[in-house]
């Protein structure tokens, strides 16, 4: 074979290399896990824009309302999504919310602790619970579904029993007066950009009360936490070695272990992450309401997992994104408040939740098959 022929053959082989194959923008978009949730968000906004556009739902006040609901769910949905990408589930998220709330309220109200100390105590307990969940899953090899289901009952039962033993009831009020001048509480209890909303009100660009003050006073702390956690989680998953370890641990645990990925440590850290996210949720809820309730957070674990699935996370692990989970939370938050603004029975929200989860799973599987077949 001549040198020229060898050169031509070499170029052909070079062009067949999949690593150098050009991928269309459409295929890149279809392969993104958050595509379905993004499309769903757009459809939900269009739908409620048509049927509830004149109800005030999309006013400054109404928008902050559904963003607040979405953000609270999004905080735990992002943590649940990262754990699901890592190949595990945490069904104790909702119970952890109630437990963390009591860890804040009882020391502050009954033991005389400063509020900031109680908040730190709650986060310390969250780390212990998350570590315990993770170590049980890693060391015993038991399914995380079983381990965290057991923890769901343990935490909820302990929360009820301890609260009744100390207080004689299931709620602990009186936290609101402790927020002022606390060095930490403002992070979870203070609206941001109040000056901007006051300026909008002075220009009559947003709704005003009868006394002339803006109806929307600022961006809720839940929204700030939600945005910050979405950015942070996305950076971890897309730009760090730890993010690669998460995908590897969920995609192929044995293969990841063989190439040196510390799968056990990764999974334990992700369980700690869901417990900490639950405590952030609890701090925001408890300080906003001014009281702790033993039943707070009930079924929130299912809503968080549903938002993560709608956002493109696979139940088998190794695939998903924080942005997708954020869009999933926005969908549920928008629908929840949209149903309220349109005077539809709120019981239908649960029907929508289940239907959206099924549709998301079918859609994600369909897209992944099409993308795989086209490669």
Is pLDDT at 152 greater than 90 in this prediction?
yes
Looking at residue 344, its pLDDT comes to 75
Any domain includes 37:
no
pLDDT at position 8 over 60: no
pLDDT tens column, 347-369: 777 787 777 767 766 766 666 66
Q: Is there a domain that residue 35 lies in? A: no
Instruction: Decide if 2 is inside a domain.
Output: no
Residue 20 has pLDDT above 80, yes or no: no
Per-residue pLDDT at 4? 54
Domain assignment present for 175: yes
> For residue range 288-327, what is the model confidence (pLDDT) as tens digits?
989 999 999 998 999 999 899 888 888 888 888 999 999 9
Per-residue pLDDT, averaged over 10-26, amounts to 54
In the predicted structure, residue 15 carries a pLDDT above the cut 80: no
Quick check: 374 pLDDT over 70?
A: no
Average pLDDT of the residues in 176-191: 89
Q: What CATH number corresponds to the domain at position 121?
A: 1.10.3470
Residue 49 lies in a domain: no
Kindly state whether residue 1 falls inside one of the protein's structural domains.
no
Q: Does the pLDDT at position 9 exceed 70?
A: no
Give CA–CA dist 197/194, Å, rounded: 5
Domains held by the chain: number: 1
pLDDT at site 1: 52
pLDDT of res. 113 = 94
pLDDT at site 48:
84
Per-residue pLDDT of 59-106, as tens digits, reads 888 899 999 999 999 999 999 999 999 999 999 999 999 999 999 999
Which domain does 78 fall in, by range? 61-188+212-356
**Mean pLDDT calculated for residue range 14-31:** 57
Q: What is the mean pLDDT of the chain?
A: 87
Does 42 reside within a domain? no
pLDDT, residue 356, reads 72
């Amino acid at each position: 074979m001549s040198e020229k022929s060898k050169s031509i053959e070499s170029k052909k082989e070079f062009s067949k290399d999949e690593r150098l194959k050009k991928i269309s923008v459409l295929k890149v978009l279809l392969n993104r896990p958050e595509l379905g949730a993004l499309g769903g968000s757009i459809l939900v906004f269009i739908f409620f824009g048509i049927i509830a556009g004149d109800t005030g739902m999309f006013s400054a006040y109404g928008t902050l309302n559904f963003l607040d609901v979405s953000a609270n769910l999004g905080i735990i949905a992002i943590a649940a999504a990262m754990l699901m990408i890592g190949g595990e589930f945490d069904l104790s998220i909702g119970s952890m919310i109630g437990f963390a709330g009591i860890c804040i309220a009882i020391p502050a109200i009954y033991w005389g602790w400063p509020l900031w100390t109680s908040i730190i105590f709650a986060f310390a307990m969250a780390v212990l619970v998350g570590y315990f969940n993770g170590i049980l899953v890693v060391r015993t090899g038991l399914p995380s579904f079983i381990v965290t289901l057991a923890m769901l009952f343990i935490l909820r039962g302990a929360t009820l029993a301890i609260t009744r033993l100390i207080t004689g009831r299931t709620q602990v009020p009186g936290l609101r007066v402790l927020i002022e001048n606390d060095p930490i509480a403002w992070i979870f209890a203070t609206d941001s950009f109040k000056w901007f909303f006051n300026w909008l009100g002075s220009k009559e660009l947003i709704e005003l009360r009868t006394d002339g003050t803006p109806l929307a006073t600022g961006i809720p702390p839940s929204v700030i936490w939600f945005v910050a956690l979405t950015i942070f989680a996305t950076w971890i998953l897309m730009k760090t070695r730890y993010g690669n370890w998460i995908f590897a641990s969920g995609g192929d645990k044995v293969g990841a272990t063989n190439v040196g990925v510390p799968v056990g440590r990764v999974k334990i850290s992700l369980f700690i992450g869901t417990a900490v996210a639950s405590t952030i949720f609890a701090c925001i809820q408890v300080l906003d309401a001014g009281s702790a309730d033993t039943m707070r957070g009930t079924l929130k674990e299912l809503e968080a997992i549903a938002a993560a699935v709608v956002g493109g996370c696979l139940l088998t692990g190794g695939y998903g994104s924080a942005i997708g989970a954020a869009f999933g939370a926005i969908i549920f938050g928008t629908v929840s408040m949209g149903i309220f603004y349109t005077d539809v029975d709120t019981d239908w929200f649960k029907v929508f939740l289940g239907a959206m989860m099924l549709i998301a799973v079918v859609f994600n599987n369909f897209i992944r098959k099409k993308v795989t077949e086209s490669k």
